[in-house]
């Protein structure tokens, strides 16, 4: 299905009077309202192909209905999101969960929805049917060079798919680690990983980036070979200028100061970008901003500050993506909520009075620094983000329109009830 522009315009017409009042009110207190709106307009967050179906846990999965059954339908889903919010203009593929059989056709289909291809993701954390060697004890860090070679070749294959689609980055996340003390020689595992990544890096086109994603634990429960940002940065530095550290918000030990990690990676010119989600306990993959919206704001506060200091374009300088799983909510509705939360955090970070903050920091005025940050965080920017959408031809309230026209029922009518999408 496609959402016609006339449906969006009709919806906007209904909400316009109330919206205009709210915008007028905001304009009175935000002197650089126009500048912020135009930045928010340009800001897009990519959608992962594996987040469009209902996720599960190791204890079970409660299926949704009308899920995309193939890559074409996943592109259609992201197209729907993008039509509603004009902020989800790219899709990120996980290979081999989503293999583009005919890249040209897939590219053309995506383009018909205004979508590009974000980073491609390799998968050496599961065994695939007909795979010669098992990844049970790891992939790029494996003690057996033959397993490492197989995993390296898979990554090279993924780069080839990405080139055909117009992607510009490879994201490598490894489940490699150990579940018991003594299982692994840490130094050898790290060296093997580095050597394997070097092989992959050689096949990276010159205008590509390699994103090295870290994760503290899971599926291994004692050690992970790329467990934190230090280990990822070590690898990225040894690999070269095209290698960067990717921050997935759910991949830290509890209470980690993620905003500080982000500030330093950005300072070093080694921040790849994000997998956005939220969590209470671990890698819960919940809707961005659902649990810790202040943390999300503080991360964007560092991002805006650091990107401006280095002259990095907000919209295109880093990789912005969601990495979430949807056990209870409709995946499409949940993704709309995540994108909204991310854009709100970004808009609030743009509101921070940087000059005043700098001055207060210089004076060690701790009361003032908190006031300045919280003044921005407590500003209701919903109408500002909606205004950015309106100017892009998207819906003033994507969630309301999604519900009002019953998008999911239309998808069920088209696809049936029992389709199951690959993914988390
Ligand atoms: C690992 C991870 C990684 C994978 C995705 C499916 O937890 O965040 O990015 O590719 O989940
Ligand atoms: Mn991730
Ligand atoms: Mn994860």
- To test the pocket of ligand 1, the residue of 96, 172, 213 to mutate (highest count of ligand atoms within 8 Å of its CB) is 213
Residue 358, in any domain of the structure = no
Residue 89, in any domain of the structure = yes
Separation of CA 2 and ligand 3 centre (Å):
31
Residue 213, in any domain of the structure = yes
What pLDDT does 423 receive?
62
3-state DSSP assignment of residue 295: helix
What pLDDT does 424 receive?
62
Separation of CA 247 and ligand 3 centre (Å):
10
What pLDDT does 281 receive?
96
pTM, rounded to two decimals: 0.97
Residue 356, in any domain of the structure = no
CB 303 within 8 A of CB 316: no
Atom of ligand 1 lying closest to residue 121 CA: 10
Residues lining ion ligand 2 (Cβ < 5 A) are: 248, 275, 323
Separation of CA 91 and ligand 3 centre (Å):
17
For residue 315, what are the domain limits? 44-340
Point out the ligand nearest to the CA of residue 279.
3
User: Residue 54 — φ and ψ, nearest 5°?
Assistant: -75, 130
CATH number for the domain harbouring residue 256: 3.20.20.150
- Domain total of the chain: 1
Q: Would you say the ipTM is above 0.95?
A: yes
Residue 251, in any domain of the structure = yes
Q: Is the CB of 224 under 6 A from ligand 1?
A: no
**Mean pLDDT of the residues in the chain:** 97
Tokens of 90: 């790219």
pLDDT digits (tens, 9 = 90+) for 359-409: 999 999 999 999 999 999 999 999 999 999 999 999 999 999 999 999 999
What pLDDT does 56 receive?
87
Q: Is the CB of 285 under 6 A from ligand 1?
A: no
3-state DSSP assignment of residue 20: helix
Q: Which contiguous run of DSSP H or E holds residue 66? A: none
Tokens of 34: 């126009």
Residue 173, in any domain of the structure = yes
What gap in Å lies between CA 392 and CA 386, rounded to an integer?
Answer: 10
Residue 372, in any domain of the structure = no
3-state DSSP assignment of residue 277: coil
Low-confidence residues of the chain, pLDDT below 50?
A: none
Q: Is the CB of 44 under 6 A from ligand 1?
A: no
pLDDT digits (tens, 9 = 90+) for 72-111: 999 999 999 999 999 999 999 999 999 999 999 999 999 9
Residue 260, in any domain of the structure = yes
Tokens of 356: 């005043």
148 to 173, 187, 199: CA distances (angstroms): 14, 16, 10
- Percent of the chain surpassing pLDDT 90: 95
What pLDDT does 417 receive?
85
Name the residue at shortest CA distance from atom 6 of ligand 1: 424
- To test the pocket of ligand 1, the residue of 275, 283, 331 to mutate (highest count of ligand atoms within 8 Å of its CB) is 275
Name the residue at shortest CA distance from atom 9 of ligand 1: 173
């Amino acid at each position: 299905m496609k959402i016609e522009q006339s449906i969006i315009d009709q919806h906007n017409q209904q909400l316009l009077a109330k919206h205009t009042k709210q915008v007028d009110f905001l304009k009175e207190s935000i002197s650089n309202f126009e500048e912020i709106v135009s930045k928010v307009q340009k800001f897009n967050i990519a959608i992962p192909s594996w987040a469009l179906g209902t996720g599960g846990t190791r204890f079970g999965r409660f299926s949704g209905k009308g899920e995309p059954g193939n890559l074409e339908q996943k592109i259609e889903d992201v197209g729907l999101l993008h039509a509603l919010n004009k902020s989800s203009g790219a899709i990120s593929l996980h290979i081999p969960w989503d293999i583009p059989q005919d890249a040209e056709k897939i590219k053309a289909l995506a383009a018909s929805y205004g979508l590009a291809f974000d980073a491609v993701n390799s998968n050496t954390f599961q065994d695939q049917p007909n795979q010669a060697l098992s990844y049970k004890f790891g992939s790029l860090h494996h003690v057996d060079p033959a397993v490492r070679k197989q995993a390296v070749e898979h990554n090279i294959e993924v780069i080839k798919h990405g080139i055909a689609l117009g992607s510009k980055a490879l994201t490598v996340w490894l489940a490699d680690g150990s579940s018991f003390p003594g299982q692994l020689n840490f130094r050898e595992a790290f060296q093997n990983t580095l050597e394997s990544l070097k092989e992959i890096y050689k096949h990276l086109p010159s205008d590509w980036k390699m994103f090295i994603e870290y994760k503290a634990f899971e599926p291994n429960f004692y050690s992970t070979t790329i467990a934190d940002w230090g280990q990822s940065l070590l690898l990225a530095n040894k690999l070269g200028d095209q290698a960067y550290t990717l921050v997935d918000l759910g991949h830290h030990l509890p209470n980690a100061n993620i905003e500080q990690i982000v500030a330093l990676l950005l300072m070093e010119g080694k921040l790849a970008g994000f997998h956005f989600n939220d969590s209470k306990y671990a890698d819960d993959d919940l809707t961005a901003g659902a649990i810790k919206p202040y943390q999300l704001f503080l991360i964007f506060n560092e991002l805006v500050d650091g990107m401006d200091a280095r002259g990095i374009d907000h919209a295109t300088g880093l990789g912005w993506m969601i990495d979430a799983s949807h056990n209870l909510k409709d995946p499409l509705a949940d993704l709309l909520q995540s994108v909204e939360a991310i854009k709100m955090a970004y808009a609030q970070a743009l509101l921070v009075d940087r000059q005043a903050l700098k001055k207060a920091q210089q004076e060690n005025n701790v009361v003032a620094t908190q006031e300045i940050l919280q003044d921005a965080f407590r500003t209701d920017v919903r109408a500002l983000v909606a205004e950015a959408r309106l100017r892009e031809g998207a819906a003033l309230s994507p969630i309301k329109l999604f519900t009002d026209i019953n998008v999911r029922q239309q998808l069920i009518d088209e696809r049936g009830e029992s389709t199951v999408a690959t993914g988390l």
